[in-house]
């Protein structure tokens, strides 16, 4: 149905009296649009340049993950989680592994916990780096920041490839540990990448932090108030940019996050600029966590020897595992009926729930602002549509 | 022209060519892909255009957001049944000559999601595909390889004669049926002119006629 038929907004001028009055115009942005970050459609009703109604249309990438998982065994679901949020596959693996571990009461060995933190934080680095690259691309920078971001991303993908054999779909975690141990020299190589990363951040900040166009386009645009952020259930950088101090690494201290000292950056205004800066600051904190983890990583086994990976049948019950994924709270809710397949497999996707405030952010703004507001939410359609 | 004579002439600084070679060379060296990502493979497609892999070396870095300006569609990712009509419509909107690279397992056959209810089992059911690259997702090197294969294919096309390509043959279609949402599935479920049901030779184990496996 057209958004125009559902729209009952007063126009800026009355068309019956004013001959120059504008009419509402419906624009369908997407699903093929260069800056919708995938196949996402927004039906927008416009009064001149201004947005008076915005209706997101989902489902162009609905790949029925949840239904497929019900016919897979617990191990077989792991590769599917890679493809949910395809930019950061390792954190998806982690959330799913955590859910199964909660369900079956599995303990994870020390070294595996450290490897999880290292790979998880590297994932956060490459996700945030590419996100700010894409955001700049949406703003019209025609390539340069995105190239810088992808240059760094490739270095991290090389590490993933050396560790897991795949650049993007890592399939690295198992319930009870990790799939493979770090190969010889991997930790040294990782140390080099981590040590060089702040240089990239400095370079990026000096390039863009006080850029006049960036500030004009982002400051005060797409504001989300603290109350709205809490009421809409926003998590991750979106919530923290609005000043909500909620980071599952601090709140839940899942894994071994209570051992590291790091700060949670918080925004003040909740606009696009804050969300951009939060990601830059979070990358610096991730580098700190990585340095501590690299210093403390012990030797030892990487898999819990008591866990049976194949033919795994947990007792009947329910479990929810959640982690602080780069985009927010990623949770897996599993119901087991005692057989080898999950009875119900439910994903709590952070980017879908962060996207629910899209209309509130866009109302009254220009069309060009929609693009950067959407870019600052950091969505991945594989996760939104599942 | 004799190949030996041609290479001898080029050593002397004389370039001899035919109109066909010149035409094909021009087309293959400036392929403009459509800026169109569907899923995971799109990230690898972007990585291919970035500094490390640098697709610009092969003349294909100009990604156009409009299908009217593009001559190559990279179907990068899972095509769902909701998206399939849009993909075919975009292909129909592209001007001839146009080519399709089917990137990744999902675009080829549905990939890991083939058993699902909402995933199209290969985009080649609706539009003709020139190059398939397997992988989940294919590495950037694989996409570059697909480009080279496509360039080779363009290079070998004839301008005249019965084997000339579709865009030079007025009798061949340049637009294909756009599927619509039917009661249960897309209608039609496949375009029979483009896609034939693959013939599978089923032989029962131990009863192979040739005697060898």
Is B68 in CB contact (< 8 Å) with chain A?
no
Phi, psi (degrees; rounded to nearest 5) at B100? -130, 130
Domain boundaries of chain A, sorted by first residue: 4-57, 65-385
CB contact under 8 A, B50 and A146: yes
- The pLDDT value recorded for residue A290 is 92
B17 is written with which tokens?
């060519």
Instruction: Quote the pTM value.
Output: 0.88
- Report the distance separating Cα A167 and Cα A45, nearest Å: 41
The set of residues, in sequence order, having a beta carbon less than 8 Å from that of A31 and lying 6+ positions away, is A39, A40, A41, A57, A60, B83, B86
Contacts of B117 in chain A (CB under 8 A): 64, 67
Contacts of B42 in chain A (CB under 8 A): 38
Q: How does pLDDT run across B127-180, given as a tens digit for each residue?
A: 999 999 998 889 999 999 999 999 999 988 888 888 888 888 888 888 888 988
Region of residue A222 (phi > 0: left; psi between -120 and 50: alpha; otherwise: beta): left
For residues B54-70, b (16+ Cβ closer than 10 Å) or e, as one string? ebeebebbebbeebeeb
CB contact under 8 A, B112 and A79: yes
Size of interface A-B (CB pairs under 8 A): 87
Minimum Cα–Cα distance from A161: chain B residue? B139
CB contact under 8 A, B47 and A150: yes
The DSSP output letter for A226 is H
Contacts of A382 in chain B (CB under 8 A): 39-40
| Alpha-carbon dihedral angle through residues B21, B22, B25, B28, given to the nearest 10 degrees | -100
CB distance A181 to A164 below 8 Å: no
A147 vs B51, B77, B116: nearest CB: B51
Nearest C-alpha neighbor of A332 from the set A81, A68, A87: A81
Q: How does pLDDT run across A291-318, given as a tens digit for each residue?
A: 999 999 898 888 888 888 778 888 889 9
- The pLDDT value recorded for residue A94 is 92
How close does chain B come to A275, measured CA to CA in Å? 22
CB contact under 8 A, B82 and A59: yes
Q: What is the ipTM of this complex?
A: 0.86
Alpha helical stretches, state H, A1-143 = 3-6, 65-70, 78-82, 89-104, 110-139
| CA quadruple A367, A63, B80, B132: dihedral sign | positive
* Cross-strand bridge partners of residue A303: A177
DSSP three-state, residue B73: strand
Segment (H or E) for B19? helix B19-28
DSSP three-state, residue A342: strand
How close does chain A come to B18, measured CA to CA in Å? 38
For the stretch A206-214, contacts whose Cβ atoms lie closer than 8 Å and that sit 24 or more positions apart, written own/partner, are: A207/A145, A207/A148, A208/A136, A208/A145, A209/A277, A209/A280, A213/A139, A214/A136, A214/A139, A214/A273, A214/A276
A31 vs B47, B86, B119: nearest CB: B86
CB contact under 8 A, A382 and B39: yes
CB contact under 8 A, A39 and B139: no
Minimum Cα–Cα distance from A72: chain B residue? B115
Is A167 in CB contact (< 8 Å) with chain B?
yes
* Cross-strand bridge partners of residue A42: A29, A56
CB contact under 8 A, B43 and A87: yes
Is A196 in CB contact (< 8 Å) with chain B?
no
pLDDT above 70 coverage of chain B, percent: 94
How close does chain A come to B31, measured CA to CA in Å? 18
A86 vs B35, B43, B67: nearest CB: B43
B112 vs A32, A34, A80: nearest CB: A80
CB distance A95 to A102 below 8 Å: no
CATH number assigned to the domain covering A65-385: 1.10.645.10
CB contact under 8 A, B137 and A147: no
Is A64 in CB contact (< 8 Å) with chain B?
yes
Contacts of B114 in chain A (CB under 8 A): none
- The pLDDT value recorded for residue A3 is 66
- The pLDDT value recorded for residue B211 is 46
Q: How does pLDDT run across A94-130, given as a tens digit for each residue?
A: 999 999 999 888 889 999 999 999 999 999 999 999 9
CB contact under 8 A, B115 and A68: yes
Q: Which residues of chain A are modeled with pLDDT < 70? A: 1-22, 36
- The pLDDT value recorded for residue A118 is 93
Is A67 in CB contact (< 8 Å) with chain B?
yes
How close does chain B come to A60, measured CA to CA in Å? 5
- The pLDDT value recorded for residue B2 is 80
CB contact under 8 A, B36 and A83: no
């Amino acid at each position: 149905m057209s958004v125009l038929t559902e729209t009952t907004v007063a126009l800026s001028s009355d068309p019956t009296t004013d001959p120059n009055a504008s009419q509402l115009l419906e624009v369908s942005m997407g699903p093929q649009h260069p800056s919708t970050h995938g196949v996402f459609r927004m039906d927008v009703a416009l009064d001149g340049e201004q947005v008076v109604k915005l209706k997101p249309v989902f489902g162009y990438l609905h790949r029925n993950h949840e239904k497929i998982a019900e016919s897979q065994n617990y191990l077989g679901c792991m590769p599917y989680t890679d493809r949910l949020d395809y930019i950061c596959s390792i954190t998806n693996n982690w959330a799913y592994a955590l859910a199964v571990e909660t369900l079956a009461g599995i303990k994870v060995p020390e070294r595996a916990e450290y490897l999880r933190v290292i790979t998880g934080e590297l994932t956060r680095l490459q996700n945030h780096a590419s996100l700010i690259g894409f955001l700049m691309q949406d703003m019209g920078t025609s390539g340069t920041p995105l190239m810088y971001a992808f240059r760094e991303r490739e270095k991290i993908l090389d590490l993933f490839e050396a560790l897991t054999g795949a650049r993007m779909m890592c399939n690295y975690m198992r319930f009870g540990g990790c799939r493979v141990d770090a190969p010889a020299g991997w930790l040294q190589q990782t140390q080099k990448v981590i040590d060089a990363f702040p240089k990239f951040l400095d370079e990026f900040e000096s390039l863009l932090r006080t850029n006049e166009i960036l500030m004009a386009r982002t400051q005060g645009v797409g504001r989300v108030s603290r109350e709205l952020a809490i009421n809409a259930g926003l998590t991750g950088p979106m919530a923290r940019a609005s000043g909500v101090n909620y980071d599952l690494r601090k709140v839940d201290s899942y894994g071994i996050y209570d051992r590291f000292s790091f700060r949670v950056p918080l925004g003040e205004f909740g606009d696009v600029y804050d969300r951009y800066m939060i990601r830059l600051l979070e990358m610096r904190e991730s580098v700190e966590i990585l340095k501590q983890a690299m210093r403390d990583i012990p030797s030892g086994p990487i898999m819990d020897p008591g866990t049976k990976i194949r033919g795994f049948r947990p007792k009947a019950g329910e479990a929810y595992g959640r982690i602080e994924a780069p985009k927010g709270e990623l949770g897996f809710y599993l119901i087991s009926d005692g057989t080898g397949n999950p009875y119900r497999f439910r994903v709590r996707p952070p980017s879908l729930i962060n996207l629910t405030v899209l209309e509130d952010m866009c109302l009254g703004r220009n069309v060009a602002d929609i693009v950067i507001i959407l870019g600052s939410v950091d969505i991945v359609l594989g996760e939104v549509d599942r | 022209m004799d190949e030996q004579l041609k290479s001898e002439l080029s050593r002397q600084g004389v370039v001899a060519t035919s109109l066909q070679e010149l035409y094909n060379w021009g087309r293959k060296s400036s392929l403009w892909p459509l800026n169109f990502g569907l899923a995971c493979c799109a990230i690898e497609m972007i990585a291919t255009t970035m500094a490390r892999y640098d697709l610009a070396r092969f003349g294909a870095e100009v990604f156009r957001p409009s299908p009217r300006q593009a001559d190559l569609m990279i179907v990068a990712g899972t095509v769902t049944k909701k998206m399939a009509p849009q993909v075919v419509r975009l292909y129909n909107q592209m001007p001839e000559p146009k080519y399709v690279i089917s990137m990744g397992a999902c675009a080829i056959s549905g990939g890991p999601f083939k058993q699902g209810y909402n995933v199209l089992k290969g985009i080649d059911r609706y539009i003709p595909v020139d190059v398939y690259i397997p992988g989940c997702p294919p590495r950037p090197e694989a996409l570059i390889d697909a480009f080279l294969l496509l360039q080779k294919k363009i290079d070998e096309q004839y301008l005249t004669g019965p084997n000339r390509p579709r865009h030079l043959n007025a009798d061949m279609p340049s637009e294909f049926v756009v599927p619509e949402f039917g009661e249960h599935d897309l209608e039609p479920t496949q375009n029979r002119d483009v896609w034939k049901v693959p013939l599978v030779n089923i032989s029962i184990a131990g009863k192979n006629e040739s005697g060898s496996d």
